[in-house]
Amino acid sequence: MAVDTGLFIAVTLVYLAATIGLGYLGYRQTKGDDDYMVAGRKVNPVVLALSYGATFISTSAIVGFGGVAAQLGMGMIWLTVLNIGLGIFIAFVVFGKRTRSIGSKLKAVTFPDLMGKCYQSPFMRYAAGLVIVVSMPLYTAAILIGGAQFITSTLQIPYATALIAFAAVVALYVVLGGLIAVMYTDALQGGIMLVGMTILLVLTYIQLGGVIEAHTALAAMSDLVPGTLAAGGMTGWASMPALGSPIWLTLVTTLVLGVGIGVLAQPQLVVRFMTVKDSRSLNRAVLVGGPFILMMTGVAFTVGALTNVYFYRTGGVIALAAATDGNIDTIIPNFINASMPDLFVVIFMLTLLAAAMSTLSSLLHAMGTSLGFDMMRHTGSRGASMKRIQAATVVMIVASVILAFIMPGSIIARATAMFMGLCASAFLPAYAHAVYSSRPSLLAAKLSLVAGAAAWFVWTAFVHVKESAALGLSNLLFGVPAVLSAPWQDVDPLVVALPLSMAALLVGCVLDRHRVHADQDEPAGAA
């Protein structure tokens, strides 16, 4: 992006000063374990809503999924519908209230700790912690890559320097200030994101001649859909792909369902429900969180699709052709740079930086507490070692940075969908059972978690061709990139793994019930 580097540096320095100041405030208010792990259970509802939303929405939604909307069209708006309906309303009202109540009663401080205490099982705590520690660094590395590439292109500094400096700044307030610092900084970053995305929507419609003219022009471009996309089922940027086509399956099963359902079982989001003092705070948070998510995802997906109108009017090409080296992650930045005033380019860059930092800080906190508190704690230990948790957080930061150097770019949207799909498959049925059953079945939870995670990994490695072809295991063992043909190779692992996880939970509940009845029917004095 071409930008006034001096102005951007000045604005960024002010932003970083405010971020570090809030981090220091969180550090000063962190007096004990509850403060570090669950922000003392007294967070303001507005801070909760902004922190939850800013954690949920990263560069993935704004740049990654915005680029996907430019490629596949307005069908991405269905993800906004699920994000609000499931990710905010159902998450806060159905899951959030029960999670807050049970978490407070059991004094749970992390998602694995909640699972372990609900089921009275070290296995559930360790298993949940293991899934987080193993899988979350991939998502974290993707966020690091996006932030570092953005800093590199803006300030013209080496990628390695940008990556390490970016990680170090976030690590500073996460390690020292815990969740209080994370949520305070998230609220600031969420506010910046809201302002930036609101201005982006308004300026885009002004640029394209108004709401009606912009969308009418987009609908009229259906005959410009590239042949490869048309063959895959795409019918235009203002309509859904053909029902059951490969693009429809990708859009619906991976992007809409994968992220829309996956948000319900995100460990870094679930723990936020345990940071407020009562259920009324969660109700108030919904009133802020819903509009926030609407503006973040709705604007990104709408503007993403409408970039096709802008690029066609100004250059005679669709957005995909205007992408740098065919990388769809560059469509939104290219559109901003070409169409917006210089001052807004700076605001948008700050929006991206805030989006990346807010998600990254929450992921680092979740990984550090999962490793340092849930997995490294002795079974009989009740307390938390702050030094151990801080050391574990540093370890996970280093691991994520190393992965960021190894992994390729342009994977933010896919990494997001993969991580959220895995969490839903492994955690969601057992999590729902834990908070809504008076006597949750440990056997059912074990079967559900193992079946969901295993099914997700198998389908990812051997069937879902976008991942199986890249991993190479299917080709190595069976000589083909995916062991099943279309349409199955376009179906996201979540669509298979989550139902299997739910079925395993039901089977476990039935088996447990039969075992209990058998024990009750056994004659007194029997061996």
CB pairs under 8 A, 24+ apart, for 111-117? Answer: 111/267, 111/270, 111/271, 111/366, 111/370, 111/427, 112/267, 112/370, 112/374, 112/375, 113/373, 113/374, 114/270, 114/274, 114/434, 115/427, 115/430, 115/431, 115/434, 115/445, 116/374
Query: Per residue in 328-380, pLDDT tens?
Result: 878 888 898 889 888 888 888 888 888 888 888 888 888 998 998 888 865 44
For residue 430, is it within any domain? no
Helix H or strand E segment including 406: helix 386-406
Residue 309 has pLDDT above 90, yes or no: yes
Residue 250 has pLDDT above 70, yes or no: yes
| In contact, 442 and 121? CB cutoff 8 Å | yes
Angle at 111 between CA 271 and CA 471, to 5 degrees: 110
Percent above pLDDT 70 for the chain:
93
Question: What's the pTM?
Answer: 0.86
From the CB of residue 442, how many other CB atoms can be counted at a distance below 10 Å? 17
| Percent helix, strand and coil across the chain, each to the nearest 5 | 80, 0, 20
For residue 144, is it within any domain? yes
Higher pLDDT, 417 or 434: 434
Please report which confidence band the pLDDT of residue 409 belongs to, taking 50, 70 and 90 as the band edges: low
The domain total for the chain is: 1
For residue 317, is it within any domain? yes
Q: How far apart are CA 471 and CA 463, in angstroms?
A: 11
Q: How far apart are CA 377 and CA 368, in angstroms?
A: 12
Going by C-alpha positions, the residue among 350, 351, 391 that lies closest to residue 369 is 391
For residue 126, is it within any domain? yes
Residue 182 has pLDDT above 90, yes or no: no
Mean pLDDT across 449-460 = 96
For residue 332, is it within any domain? yes
For residue 431, is it within any domain? no
Helix H or strand E segment including 117: helix 111-118
Helix (H), strand (E) counts: the chain: 26, 0
pLDDT for 49 equals 86
pLDDT for 524 equals 52
pLDDT for 1 equals 47
CA 517 to chain CA centroid, nearest Å: 42
Q: How far apart are CA 84 and CA 191, in angstroms?
A: 18
For residue 467, is it within any domain? no
Name the burial class of residue 471, with classes exposed (0-12), middle (13-18) and buried (19+) by CB atoms within 10 angstroms of its CB: middle
Domain CATH number, residue 277: 1.20.1730.10
Residue 405 has pLDDT above 90, yes or no: no
CB pairs under 8 A, 24+ apart, for 313-317? Answer: 313/208, 313/217, 314/338, 314/339
| In contact, 56 and 234? CB cutoff 8 Å | no
Token pair listed for 463: 């069937």
Going by C-alpha positions, the residue among 341, 344, 342, 320 that lies closest to residue 331 is 320
For residue 182, is it within any domain? yes
DSSP E strands in 439-505: the ranges are none
Q: How far apart are CA 282 and CA 97, in angstroms?
A: 7
Mean pLDDT across 225-235 = 94
Q: How far apart are CA 107 and CA 109, in angstroms?
A: 6
| In contact, 74 and 301? CB cutoff 8 Å | yes
| In contact, 265 and 424? CB cutoff 8 Å | yes
Q: Residue 72's domain spans which residues? A: 5-424
pLDDT for 365 equals 86
